[in-house]
Amino acid sequence: MPGSSDLVQRLWSLCNVLRDDGITYHEYVTELSYLIFLKMAQETGTEDQLLEGYRWPDLVQHSGDDQLRFFRDLLYHLGTHSSGAVRSIFANAATSLHQSRNLNKLVQSIDTLDWYSARREGLGELYEGLLEKNAGEKKSGAGQYFTPRPLIESIVSVVRPQPGERIQDPAAGTAGFLVAADRYIREHTHDLQDLSDEAKRFQQAEAFYGVELVQDTHRLALMNAILHNMQANILLGDTLSPLGASLPEADVILTNPPFGTKMGGGRPTRTDFPFPTGNKQLAFLQHIYLSLNPHGRAAVIVPDNVLFETGIAAQVRHELMDVCRLHTLLRLPTGIFYSQGIKTNVLFFSKGDGDAHSNTTHVWVYDLRGNGVSFGKRNPLNRAVFQDFESRFGDDPYGLSYREDTGPEGRFRCFGREKIAERQDRLDLSWRGNESSDNGSGSEPLASELIVESIHEALSSALVEIEAITEMLRDTSG
């Protein structure tokens, strides 16, 4: 009996059918999402959430050009006359298909899949597999919003979300963090059966919040949550607008904010940030520590420039270490995200009680990058990569477990706050020499290589600020 990976491969292979129709990878996943949602509603007996006359059997009974016309009509009606999550999934939906034979091929192929096997292994697993396939294709550009599942699972395993906690992802993407947090809680509560009725209701209706800026990605997030039996509150909008300030305070924040200079929406418009900036990574970081409840905890993925930039970046880092206890920094290997040049880290911190200052006394750094290996298609990332990190992190989600400094030859070191202050609060702490094994030498990088890398990082940072200033000038002149 085929597993979910076989079904994923069969569905993904259908994208070859659409090449003549000019369909991109991302458009293909969106088209599949519409069709799979209709089919899965039939398979799970939940078609009553769909408008009568606009369901899978109604689509199947049409053929040829009439089927394509009906499909367009179906998308419009479900997006304008439905309610709840269905309306959000189909809002402003439009098919990119131009040839009716391609739609017919997709419908027939989906209808003949082994849905018994898919239901047994989990419809959510099937859908996550498609999202991962899409993210793995560089041409799709989807890697920018898809965080690899092994990394998400590792982060969730050490942060340990608990029943009754409100969990937020302000840059939800396809809702990978929220889905993983829900899965973790279900695994530790016998699928919520250990909880009281009131606690179960909270988990199902109030525990999870997310925000996603891009509508097509928002659709994928809603689909991902629904197929994992979640009722997450995933909003379409911009966290860096007043919407972000209106979100309920969170006990746990897990997120991978967008990298780069501009992901749509222009300059952040929040007025509550201590350090206004056009750098969205720094803006998201401020949102995160402002949005945590006292003693709330967070794990956030950031690129290297957030760790070493001067100016506002240094002020944000100082504020973060002042109001929060930044206890752990994980330096990630290269090749995890869609752009090989992006070097990333995970910051783990918890918020103080609201009155205390200088909460950070020391920071533990686990270096998975120095003298390590790079990951990509030939060497895919897997959960085992993070096994030693998780063990050394310890059982306490606040980083309070006993820890042992491994010394300069090891991967886990402790740095006092005074040492960090001497570095102008720079957190790009490393001691293991060469940052990857790409050159195969295992030796220290050449001084010229370090200079070039430093220039590249400085220019990238400058471009972020230049674009932000340009947008601000456009706003004021307009």
Of 265 and 324, the structure prediction assigns the larger pLDDT to 324
pLDDT given for residue 154 in this prediction: 98
Q: Of 109, 133, 157, which closes a domain? A: 133
Residue 463 has pLDDT above 70, yes or no: no
Residue 321 has pLDDT above 80, yes or no: yes
**465 belongs to a structural domain:** no
Q: In the chain, pLDDT over 90 holds for what percent of residues?
A: 54
Q: Of 102, 133, 164, which closes a domain? A: 133
Residue 399 has pLDDT above 90, yes or no: yes
pLDDT band of residue 390 (cuts 50, 70, 90) is very high
pLDDT given for residue 341 in this prediction: 65
3-state secondary structure of 225: helix
pLDDT given for residue 220 in this prediction: 85
Question: Both 444 and 411 in a single domain?
Answer: yes
Question: Both 380 and 295 in a single domain?
Answer: yes
**412 belongs to a structural domain:** yes
Question: Both 280 and 213 in a single domain?
Answer: yes
φ/ψ of 302, rounded to 5, equals -135, 150
Question: Both 204 and 304 in a single domain?
Answer: yes
pLDDT given for residue 265 in this prediction: 47
Contact 432, 365 (CB under 8 A): no
**85 belongs to a structural domain:** yes
Residue 396 has pLDDT above 80, yes or no: yes
Question: Both 64 and 186 in a single domain?
Answer: no
Weakest-pLDDT range from 18-22, 43-47, 162-166, 238-242: 18-22
Q: pLDDT digit string (tens) for 402-420?
A: 999 999 999 999 999 999 9
The CATH number covering residue 48 comes to 1.20.1260.30
Residue 453 has pLDDT above 50, yes or no: no
Weakest-pLDDT range from 7-11, 58-62, 237-241, 304-308: 7-11
pLDDT given for residue 43 in this prediction: 85
Residue entry with tokens 């752009």 = 339
Distance CA 169, CA 54 (A): 33
Contact 179, 124 (CB under 8 A): yes
Of 18 and 369, the structure prediction assigns the larger pLDDT to 369
Distance CA 237, CA 215 (A): 8
**175 belongs to a structural domain:** yes
Question: Both 118 and 154 in a single domain?
Answer: no
Distance CA 271, CA 15 (A): 44
Question: Both 216 and 346 in a single domain?
Answer: yes
pLDDT band of residue 469 (cuts 50, 70, 90) is low
The 8-class DSSP code of residue 20 comes to G
Average pLDDT, the chain: 84
Could you tell me how far CA 362 lies from the centroid of its own chain?
Answer: 28
Of 280 and 189, the structure prediction assigns the larger pLDDT to 189
Contact 4, 83 (CB under 8 A): no
**256 belongs to a structural domain:** yes
Q: pLDDT digit string (tens) for 203-251?
A: 999 999 999 998 888 988 898 888 888 889 999 999 999 999 999 999 9
pLDDT given for residue 473 in this prediction: 54
Question: Both 258 and 162 in a single domain?
Answer: yes
Weakest-pLDDT range from 3-17, 61-75, 219-233: 3-17
**472 belongs to a structural domain:** no
**347 belongs to a structural domain:** yes
Most confident of 32-46, 91-105, 298-312: 298-312
pLDDT given for residue 267 in this prediction: 65
Weakest-pLDDT range from 118-127, 338-347, 428-437: 428-437
For the CA atoms of 337, 16, 27, 148, the dihedral, rounded to the nearest 10 degrees, stands at -20
3-state secondary structure of 444: coil
Question: Both 196 and 158 in a single domain?
Answer: yes
Weakest-pLDDT range from 36-40, 95-99, 124-128, 436-440: 436-440
Question: Both 331 and 205 in a single domain?
Answer: yes
pLDDT given for residue 334 in this prediction: 83
Question: Both 316 and 260 in a single domain?
Answer: yes
Question: Both 47 and 101 in a single domain?
Answer: yes
**478 belongs to a structural domain:** no
Average pLDDT of the segment spanning 83-91: 90
pLDDT given for residue 5 in this prediction: 67
**Alpha helices of 161-279 — where are they, by DSSP H?**
176-187, 197-205, 215-227, 242-245
Give me the domain span that covers residue 336.
Answer: 147-457
Average pLDDT of the segment spanning 257-276: 73
Residue 378 has pLDDT above 60, yes or no: yes
Residue 440 has pLDDT above 70, yes or no: no
Contact 114, 7 (CB under 8 A): yes
Residue 30 has pLDDT above 50, yes or no: yes
Radius of gyration for the alpha carbons in the chain, expressed in angstroms and rounded: 23
pLDDT band of residue 115 (cuts 50, 70, 90) is confident
3-state secondary structure of 346: strand
Residue 150 has pLDDT above 70, yes or no: yes
pLDDT band of residue 322 (cuts 50, 70, 90) is very high
Domain count within the chain? 2
Q: Of 133, 164, 180, which closes a domain? A: 133
Which pairs count as long-range contacts for 385-391, CB under 8 Å and 24+ apart, including other chains? 385/150, 385/333, 386/150, 386/151, 386/154, 389/154, 389/330, 390/154, 390/157, 390/158
The CATH number covering residue 163 comes to 3.40.50.150
pLDDT band of residue 12 (cuts 50, 70, 90) is confident
